[in-house]
Chains A and B, each alone.
Chain A
Amino acid sequence: MSTRNTATVLAARDDARARGGTTSDWMPHLPASSSPHPPAGVDPALLTWAETVAPGGYTSRVLARGTRLRLSDVTGDACAHVLLFSAVAPWERLNVADTQKIPWQAYLGEGHPLLSGDGRVLATVVADTSGRHDAFCGTSSDAWNERRYGDAAPQGPSPSGRGLFTLAAAKQGLEPRDLPPSVSFFQGVRVEADGGFRWLGSAGPAEVDLLAELPLTVLVANTAHPLDPRPRFTVGPLRVHAWRSTPTSAADERFTRTPELHRAYLNTLDHAEARGL
């Protein structure tokens, strides 16, 4: 039996209002400039998103072209499963096969483009202190987490990535049908000569910065990597900051780093300028 006085509307209102201002380890900070952990060297006034995603939590956001998004693994146990969509045409979305095939490189790192299936760069990895990421294994399904941990429900102790993505997608008007394979940051996997996957796990606390090359709808699920061998569901908090910056332009070194990147950025610029983005 609660000791709170909530027997009348006014008492319940007072009780509810008394909770305002409470803080939590996992919460959005509004305005973003009030973040208790502003990125070093970034004017807090430029921040447009500051949030800490709970272990087993998810978030979503629409970001302007040119936004720089920093994902921070605070403890070394976060795993940021990410899906990107063009915010102006969500049928244009992350294509993991093109993201691996076109740069001739399976492992994500600084300079790697996150490509759509339409020949454009949705975002560029512009900084990376981890080097342990994965574009092969996607995220977990309910069947997987039920088998691994005994439960996969979003409200439970070991939510599946697909379940979290389904909720994040719905918040942006997207359906399960809109969810392609995802990439994940901070828990690495490597391919052996026979094709077998070797688990690298975490590099410890680290940061990855993504630069939005088009207006993006971003879905993030922070849940255990499917191949994480630890018997107990283990995930740490994921810190998210975004701030106003500028998309990749012809003035940037990476614009012409490879022939494939050059044409991808040309396609992206052409599209953005035609649409007035």
Chain B
Amino acid sequence: MTTTDSTTLDRGSPLVPGEVVLDERVAPRAPWSAVVRAGHVLTIVDVGGNQSADCLLFADADRSERYSVPDTLAWQGNAYVRTGTVLRSQFGTPLATVVADEVGRQDTIGGACGKESNTLRYGHHTAHQHGCRENFLAEGARHGLSARDLVSNLNWFMNVPVEPDGSLGIVDGISGPGKRVAFRAEVDLLVVVSNCPQVNNPCNDFDPTPLRMLVTTPAGGSR
């Protein structure tokens, strides 16, 4: 899939003031990873708007400690991620804190797409399509991670409401070109991102667009 000519692109800038120590662009449908040092802030820019950034976090010192959806949600007593949410590991340890969010509500329920789950959702004709699970496996393998290390993930810029009767699903995004989210690493973090290739649901408006990843050292110095 390629970005359509009509797509507005806004590459943005760091959401939190500071010295930029990493500035990378993630192509549509591609994976990305980096180690973000404790105290540094990662700003993710939704360059084209409504582009899901599927994300896994691992403690860099011991990658068997990793992001946990249920611990994050149970600890805060709420199903959605937003400014102030502490992203916790399966041991309850804070891995990162969401420090700014221009969307208002981020998803961590919907999980990742994959070739196999796509067959359930859309039909067996989609089995040839690339998915986030494939991005996680490929990028994770560069760091010695495997299928055993893949757990439920964050979906920056994706919108998954839960209705009163428990109905839930991926619906039209509430992000837009140039919208940003930023989180501060509380420990040295391996961040693995899949710039979602999904073209069968509105998680990226049926049109994968780029992401920009900006790591900053907050102004005034840090660790």
Interface, chain A (partner B; CB < 8 A): 91, 95-98, 100-102, 104-107, 115, 117-120, 136-139, 141-144, 162, 176-182, 190-191, 193-197, 226-227, 260, 263-264, 267
Assess the A177–B73 pair: CB atoms within 8 A.
Answer: no
Knowing A97-B110, A181-B68, the reply to whether A143 touches B73 (Cβ < 8 A) is: no
Give Cα A93–Cα B146 distance, bound, in whole angstroms.
Answer: 13
Knowing A107-B166, A143-B92, the reply to whether A119 touches B68 (Cβ < 8 A) is: no
Assess the B78–A197 pair: CB atoms within 8 A.
Answer: yes
Assess the B133–A162 pair: CB atoms within 8 A.
Answer: no
24 A-B interface contacts by CB (under 8 A): A97-B152, A100-B111, A101-B110, A102-B120, A106-B167, A107-B166, A117-B117, A119-B115, A136-B70, A136-B73, A138-B69, A138-B71, A139-B70, A141-B71, A141-B92, A144-B74, A176-B64, A181-B68, A181-B151, A190-B166, A195-B162, A196-B78, A197-B73, A263-B123
7 further interface pairs, Cβ-Cβ under 8 Å (given A100-B111, A106-B162): A91-B146, A101-B160, A117-B117, A119-B120, A138-B70, A142-B92, A195-B162
Q: A residues within 8 A CB of B75?
A: 144
Assess the B109–A97 pair: CB atoms within 8 A.
Answer: yes
Assess the B162–A196 pair: CB atoms within 8 A.
Answer: no
B117-160 interface with A by 8 A CB criterion: 117-121, 123-124, 133, 146-153, 160
Q: How many of B's residues come within 8 Å of A, CB to CB?
A: 49
Q: A residues within 8 A CB of B74?
A: 136-138, 144, 197, 226-227
Question: From residue B135, how far is it (CB to closest CB) to chain A in Å?
Answer: 14
Assess the B90–A144 pair: CB atoms within 8 A.
Answer: no
Q: B residues within 8 A CB of A195?
A: 78-80, 105, 162
Interface, chain B (partner A; CB < 8 A): 64, 68-71, 73-75, 77-80, 90-93, 105, 109-112, 114-121, 123-124, 133, 146-153, 160, 162, 164-170
Question: From residue A145, how far is it (CB to closest CB) to chain B in Å?
Answer: 10
Give Cα A138–Cα B151 distance, bound, in whole angstroms.
Answer: 12
Give Cα A102–Cα B91 distance, bound, in whole angstroms.
Answer: 28
Knowing A104-B169, A193-B164, the reply to whether A137 touches B70 (Cβ < 8 A) is: yes
Q: A residues within 8 A CB of B167?
A: 104-106
Assess the A102–B121 pair: CB atoms within 8 A.
Answer: yes
Give Cα A107–Cα B110 distance, bound, in whole angstroms.
Answer: 14
Assess the A106–B166 pair: CB atoms within 8 A.
Answer: yes
Give Cα A105–Cα B165 distance, bound, in whole angstroms.
Answer: 8
Minimum-distance CB pairs A-B, first 9: A97-B111, A138-B70, A119-B116, A143-B92, A107-B166, A195-B80, A137-B74, A141-B92, A226-B74
Q: A residues within 8 A CB of B119?
A: 119, 263, 267
Q: A residues within 8 A CB of B165?
A: 107
Assess the A196–B92 pair: CB atoms within 8 A.
Answer: no
Knowing A91-B146, A97-B112, A263-B120, the reply to whether A137 touches B73 (Cβ < 8 A) is: yes
Give Cα A178–Cα B165 distance, bound, in whole angstroms.
Answer: 32
Assess the B149–A117 pair: CB atoms within 8 A.
Answer: no
Can you name the residue of chain B whose Cβ is closest to the Cβ of A118?
B116
Give Cα A102–Cα B120 distance, bound, in whole angstroms.
Answer: 7
